[in-house]
Structure 1
Amino acid sequence: MNPKPLWSPGHALKLLQKVQRHESPVELVYTSHERWPCPRLPIHPQRKLDTIRMSILDSSFNPPTCAHLALANSRPPQYTMKSGLTGSAFASEAELDYDAKLLLLSVRNADKTLKSGDATYEQRLEMMYLLSKDMSASVSQFPKNTPDSAHANVAIAIVDEPTFVGKAVVLRQFLHARISGLFPPATALDGMAISRTSDEILIPDSRLVFLLGFDTLVRLLSPRYYASEGAMMDALRLFFSPAGDDCYVAYARRKLAELGHMVQEEVEAKTLFAAKEFVESERVALISLGADSVDEQTSSTQVRTKVALKDETWRGLITPSIANYIIQNSLYVP
C-alpha cells in the first residue's frame, strides 16, 4: 500500500499557485524532518558541519522512474567533498555521500510545457513523495548502527526558474535564509564547527551538486538557451565559480532515443568539448549509477508511451509504489 503524503488536501496546490503567481521563487512542499537540510541530531561523529553538501535532482517527474531513483541515490564525485569537512580523514565513509538531497519540480521549463494527458503538478509532487521513500539514507547523516528504516535527509520543492543558472541563484538565497533560521544566535549545537561556548554560531554554507542525465547536460551547454555563446560562457563561469554560485554538475550517460548512434556520438563529443573548461576544473563529472536494472534509455517518455500502448513492461521502469499510483489514478491512459 502506498504511503500517504503528509501534507493536507490543498497544501501542494496552494504552494504551486504561490510560486506560479511569482509570490515566492521557491516553496518546500515536504521535508523528511523539520531541520532539513541540516542533519537530524546527533550528526555522524566523523562530521563537523561547515558545508552542507546537497544533491539537487531537478526534473519534470512525469513520472519518476528507476533512473531518477538511481540518480537520487548516486554517490558524489569525490572532489565535490574536499572542502566540506573539517577534522576528518579524506575518503571516510561519511565523506563519500551527500548531507542532504532535494527533489525539485520546475513549474516553468525551458523545453517542456504541461500537455493534455500529463500528470498534474500535484500528482507529480505526490509521486515525488513516493520516490523519496525509496531513497536511501546517507551515512553522513547518521552514526553507524542506525536502523535501515531511517529515511534520507530529503525535501521536495517547487521552483519557478527555467534555467539551472537561475535556479542556483534562487536556491542559494533560499537555503541561506532557511539554514540561518535553524541556528538562533544564542544557541550552539553539538557537532557544529565551533564550540558551545562561542559567542557566535557558524552558519553552514550550502554546496549544490546538480544531478543530470546527459540529455539535460546537452541543454545546459547549448547556446540556444542563452542570449549568445559568450553570454552562456559568462553565465556558466559564474554558476561554477567558487566565488560565484559554487555549483557542480554530476551527470550520467543516457542514450538519446531519437538520435542514431553516429549522431549520438557527435552530440556527446560537441557537448563535452563545450564543457572542457568545467571538466578540467572538476566542476562537471561523469558518474556511474551503479544500477544494473537501469537502462541508459529509461525515461519518463518511455513509461508514458508504454502505458498508453498497454505494454506491461512499463512496470519495470518505475518503483512498485509509483506503478500502483499510476494505476490507481489512471495516468497516461488515452
Structure 2
Amino acid sequence: MLQSMFARVTERKQLIRDILESSAQKDFYTTFSPSTHWPFKDATSKKCRLLVLDSSFNPPTKAHAKLLQTSLESYPTSYFDGSLLLFSTNNVDKTLTGASVLQRAQMMEMIAMQYPNTAVGFTPHGRFMDKAKYIHSWFAETYTSGQLELYFIVGYDTMVRLLDPKYYNGTSVKEALTPFFESCHLICADRGTEDVDFWVKTYSTFGQHLIQRIQLDAITSQLSSTLAREAIQQRHTDQLNTILDPNIVAFVSENKIY
C-alpha cells in the first residue's frame, strides 16, 4: 500500500497543483474524491450526511485518522454518506507555515484513500459558518436546501474558540450560530476532563442533540502535528513513527518537509 499511495500522489502531483492554481479564487473545491458521485446518497434517504474533519494537516497524524474513525463508529453503520478532509487556506488564527498547500493536499489524499467515500477539499474561509455556507453552495445542484447535513469534527480548544463572543462583533453567540446549526452538527473530541460549566452552558444554549462528544484514547489524544514536527526536527524516528502513518513519514522524508 505504501508504494501504491506514493505512486498515486506522485503521479497526481501536477494535476493537484493545477487544481489548486485554477481554483484559488473559489470558495470551496475538492482536489480528490473517490467518485464523481461523491458523496454517495442512499436513494431511500431524505438526508445526505457528510462528515467533515477540518484541520491544518501539518502534517496529518494518527490522531486525525482516529478522529475520523471514532466519529464514524459513534453513529450507526452507513449513517454518513461520505467524509471530507477539509483545509482552510486562510485560517482565522494561524498563518501558513511548514508544508505547502500542495504537500498538504498530497498527504491528506493518502489519508483519504484509507477510508471509504472520503474526499479532500479546500476553502479560503476560516469561519465555520462560511465553510458550511460554501460547501452547501458547491452541492446546490445535487442536493436541495435542507437535504445536506454537515457534521464537523472539532477539538475542545476549537469548540471553545467557536463559542467565543470576540469573533462575532457584538452579536450574541446563539444568534450568530443559529443559522449554522440549522444544517450542521458538531462532534467535539475531548478528554472528559474539560470544564463542566462550559458544557452545561453550551448545552443549555444549543441543545445536546446538535453537539456530540467523543473521546480518543489517552495515548492518541496526546498526538499532534506540533509533536510530529518537533520529532522530525530532532530526528526522533521512533517517536515519529508513533505519531504518523508510515505513508506520511515516508512522504515527509522524501520531500524534506520541516
Structure 1 length-normalised TM: 0.68
Tell me whether 1:52 sits opposite 2:16 in the alignment: no
Tell me whether 1:12 sits opposite 2:16 in the alignment: yes
Deviation string 1:115-148 (CA, Å, 9 cap, x unpaired) is 2xx010100000001111222xxxxxxxxxxxxx
Tell me whether 1:108 sits opposite 2:34 in the alignment: no
Q: Describe the SS at the equivalent of 1:73.
A: helix
Q: Distance in 2 between matches of 1:7 and 1:175?
A: 28
Query: 1:123 matched to which residue of 2?
Result: 103
- Contact 1:52-1:99 at 8 Å conserved across structures: yes
Deviation string 1:139-181 (CA, Å, 9 cap, x unpaired) is xxxxxxxxxxxxx01111111111111111111111222x25x
- Contact 1:52-1:204 at 8 Å conserved across structures: no
- Contact 2:50-2:148 at 8 Å conserved across structures: yes
- Residue 272 (structure 1) shift: 2.4
AA aligned opposite 2:173: M
In structure 2, relative to structure 1, the CA distance for the partners of 1:7 and 1:48 (3 Å cut) is: farther
Deviation string 1:299-327 (CA, Å, 9 cap, x unpaired) is 11111112112222021111111111111
Tell me whether 1:316 sits opposite 2:238 in the alignment: no
Q: Distance in 1 between matches of 2:232 and 2:82?
A: 33
Deviation string 1:24-64 (CA, Å, 9 cap, x unpaired) is 1111111111110125xxx6xxx723211110011110000
Deviation string 1:175-210 (CA, Å, 9 cap, x unpaired) is 222x25xxxxxxxxxxxxxxxxxxxxx899211000
Query: 2:39 matched to which residue of 1?
Result: 37
In structure 2, relative to structure 1, the CA distance for the partners of 1:6 and 1:240 (3 Å cut) is: farther
- Residue 225 (structure 1) shift: 2.1
- Contact 2:150-2:184 at 8 Å conserved across structures: yes
Query: 1:134 matched to which residue of 2?
Result: 114
- Contact 1:240-1:278 at 8 Å conserved across structures: no
Q: Distance in 1 between matches of 2:173 and 2:19?
A: 31
Q: Describe the SS at the equivalent of 2:136.
A: helix
In structure 2, relative to structure 1, the CA distance for the partners of 1:270 and 1:308 (3 Å cut) is: farther
AA aligned opposite 1:10: Q
Tell me whether 1:240 sits opposite 2:242 in the alignment: no
Q: Distance in 2 between matches of 1:316 and 1:109?
A: 27
Q: Distance in 2 between matches of 1:204 and 1:220?
A: 23
- Contact 2:30-2:122 at 8 Å conserved across structures: yes
1:250 is aligned, of 178, 187, 190, to: 187
Deviation string 1:68-88 (CA, Å, 9 cap, x unpaired) is 10111124597xx7xxxxxxx
Q: Describe the SS at the equivalent of 1:74.
A: helix
In structure 2, relative to structure 1, the CA distance for the partners of 1:6 and 1:55 (3 Å cut) is: farther
- Contact 1:54-1:99 at 8 Å conserved across structures: yes
AA aligned opposite 1:12: I
Q: Describe the SS at the equivalent of 1:5.
A: helix
Map 1:37-186 to 2 at 5 A.
37-38=39-40, 48-75=44-71, 93-94=77-78, 97-115=79-97, 118-135=98-115, 152-177=116-141, 179=142
Equivalent pairs, count:
253
Instruction: Give 1 or 2 for the bigger CA radius of gyration.
Output: 1
Query: 1:192 matched to which residue of 2?
Result: none
Map 1:189-228 to 2 at 5 A.
205-228=147-170
Gap runs ≥5 in structure 2: none
- Identify the structure with the greater helix proportion: 2
Q: Distance in 2 between matches of 1:127 and 1:270?
A: 38
Q: Distance in 1 between matches of 2:248 and 2:218?
A: 16
Q: Distance in 2 between matches of 1:127 and 1:156?
A: 10
In structure 2, relative to structure 1, the CA distance for the partners of 1:109 and 1:203 (3 Å cut) is: closer
AA aligned opposite 2:122: I
In structure 2, relative to structure 1, the CA distance for the partners of 1:65 and 1:254 (3 Å cut) is: farther
AA aligned opposite 2:231: K
Q: Distance in 2 between matches of 1:34 and 1:251?
A: 30
Identity of aligned residues (%): 27
Gap runs ≥5 in structure 1: 82-90, 136-151, 181-201, 256-263
Q: Describe the SS at the equivalent of 1:48.
A: coil
